[in-house]
Amino acid sequence: MVFRKPPDGGWGWVIVVVSFFTQFLCYGSPLAVGVLYLEWLDAFGEGKGKTAWVGSLANGIGLLASPVCSICVSSFGARPVAIFSGFMVAGGLMMSSFAPNIYFLYISYGIVVGLGCGLLYTATVTITCHYFDKRRGLALGLISTGSSVGLFIYAALQRELIDLYGLDGCLLIVGALSLNILACGSLMRPLESSDSSPPEKPCVDKVPDQYFVYHEKEKTVEENISILEKGYLDEKCVNNMPDFKQGGILNKNVLSSINVNEKDTYKKKVVEQTNFCKQLAKRKWQLYLNYWEETVVLFKNKVFSALFVAILLFDIGGFPPSLLMEDVARSANINEDDYHVPLISIIGIMTAVGKLTLGILADFKWVNTLYLYVTTLLMTGVALFAIPFAKSYLTLAMLSGILGFLTGNWSIFPYVTTKTVGIEKLTHAYGILMFFAGLGNSLGPPIVGWFYDWTQEYNTAFYFSGFCVLLGGFLLLLAALPCWNACANQSSKLPPNTYSYKVASSA
């Protein structure tokens, strides 16, 4: 398959539109799962910590399985993966409407829907990067707002559907809406060269011998005998040898010697192929060792080590509000008549605003993206500490907007990672960080729910969440201080196979 240069337009804008709606349709319900969370609490009567696992798995499993998702998209392409994942998301949502207990929801909603969302996210980002080069940042920014807009709309939509058709009817309708992902996926046409010449037929002379282990056996014994007999008779005619009986004996001797040589050649080829496989396995093992060596080198970078701790603590403490804010309002005995807009919808729309605003700020040369990211972490921690003091809808709505805006720092996280480890190590480092982000997403809401089950109030839970985010922000700030450059300069003479990352102060 021959790919042409990214057009930065044309059909690429169709890809942006369908990718936007794909993220809108797949992430709308999982991100707005806080509305369903209240219904599941009432329906199954389980603890808040146990029930929170459903939403946390749906949002974290895709990040945890990001290496598998990348392999699937690389192997099968974005369009087949998107269509298959559309069936997963829609099927998981519809199956959840028949859930007899909370454990069934762990599988149907948490794992099936979550894994489908992870596959769709990888597919949309990959196909968009294929179509855009110079405008790649703009294109990725546009499609990433699909999930935030989905959160904003689905929060109100799911509440309305629950009032009209109940929890089961809501999940069935939302699952049916997710089938539109199939139409979006079918439009994800791979970027191929339309005027490329058809592939040439492979030339046998250009193929290494080790790939032809069994070519000696392709002809049957009868064919070999006929060829040898013909060759021998021609030679006999030239030499005027009239003794046909003696010639027949010689012919049999020649055939037997040729068969022996054929067996020896076959064994030799098998030995060569075995050695080739051993060398291939050794090469794969060396790549595996190099991967772990590069991982160790990454963690020797103080900023990267602090960044992985920060993203883990941020997702443990910063993700629960998007899931539990509705229950926080109900626990504070806020009158439902005061609800003008669902709190989760406010978080969703402000997250989209935060992504765009922080992304634009990161493009200014005078803005240090690492310090900007640290600032968002510290402000998020302060906002989490303020939640226990909010006793009205207005204050909770303001805090929801602030938290949503600050959660938009996801748009600058790739910038921070690139500045920390360099563009060459971005894929490796980003995969590691996304794994820990998924771990934080999976653990955060259940931990906050367990705190509530233990204390019967949310105050301690959000103090804990705020402490986690502040701790991660301060650790990253300390690692990013310019004073670390002095230590880095002292160790400038490193072995040739190691790398020095001195970008903490220039991020």
Per-residue confidence (pLDDT) for residue 489, from 0 to 100: 45
130-139, 286-295, 463-472: least confident range: 286-295
Mean pLDDT for the stretch of residues 85-98: 94
Per-residue confidence (pLDDT) for residue 341, from 0 to 100: 77
DSSP helix, strand, coil percent of the chain (3-state; round to 5): 80, 0, 20
Per-residue confidence (pLDDT) for residue 93, from 0 to 100: 95
* Residue indicated by tokens 């922000």: 473
Per-residue confidence (pLDDT) for residue 284, from 0 to 100: 65
**Identical topology for domains 1-193 and 281-484:** yes
- Please report which confidence band the pLDDT of residue 168 belongs to, taking 50, 70 and 90 as the band edges: very high
d(CA 96, CA 110): 10
Per-residue confidence (pLDDT) for residue 143, from 0 to 100: 83
Average pLDDT, the chain: 77
Residue 225 has pLDDT above 70, yes or no: no
- Please report which confidence band the pLDDT of residue 287 belongs to, taking 50, 70 and 90 as the band edges: low
The closest of 160, 82, 98, 196 to 342, measured between CA atoms, is: 160
Per-residue confidence (pLDDT) for residue 402, from 0 to 100: 93
Digit-coded pLDDT (tens) for 431-469: 778 788 888 888 888 888 888 888 888 888 889 999 999
DSSP state letter for 311: H
- Please report which confidence band the pLDDT of residue 426 belongs to, taking 50, 70 and 90 as the band edges: low
Residue 207 has pLDDT above 50, yes or no: no
Mean pLDDT for the stretch of residues 460-488: 81
Q: In angstroms, how far is CA 56 from the centroid of its own chain?
A: 16
Residue 196 has pLDDT above 80, yes or no: no
Is 324:52 a contact under the CB 8 Å cutoff?
Answer: yes
Residue 359 has pLDDT above 80, yes or no: no
Mean pLDDT for the stretch of residues 377-382: 93
Residue 257 has pLDDT above 80, yes or no: no
Of the ranges 15-19, 142-146, 151-155, 361-365, the best mean pLDDT one: 15-19
Per-residue confidence (pLDDT) for residue 235, from 0 to 100: 46
* Residue indicated by tokens 């705020």: 466
247 vs 289, higher pLDDT: 289
d(CA 430, CA 447): 25
Mean pLDDT for the stretch of residues 81-85: 93
220-229, 314-323, 390-399, 450-459: least confident range: 220-229
Q: Token pair for residue 77?
A: 């392409």
The domain spans of the chain are 1-193, 281-484
- Per CATH, the number for 1-193 is 1.20.1250.20
Percent of the residues in the chain that have a pLDDT greater than 70, as a whole number: 74
Per-residue confidence (pLDDT) for residue 259, from 0 to 100: 58
d(CA 370, CA 412): 9
Residue 501 has pLDDT above 70, yes or no: no
| Count of CB atoms situated within 10 Å of the CB of 404 | 28
- Please report which confidence band the pLDDT of residue 229 belongs to, taking 50, 70 and 90 as the band edges: very low
| DSSP string of 254-281, one letter each residue | HHHHHHHHHHHHHHHHHHHHHHHHHHHH
Mean pLDDT for the stretch of residues 2-15: 74
Q: List, in order, residues 6 or more apart from 223 with CB less than 8 Å away.
A: none
CATH H-level superfamily of 281-484 = MFS general substrate transporter like domains (1.20.1250.20)
Is 121:62 a contact under the CB 8 Å cutoff?
Answer: yes
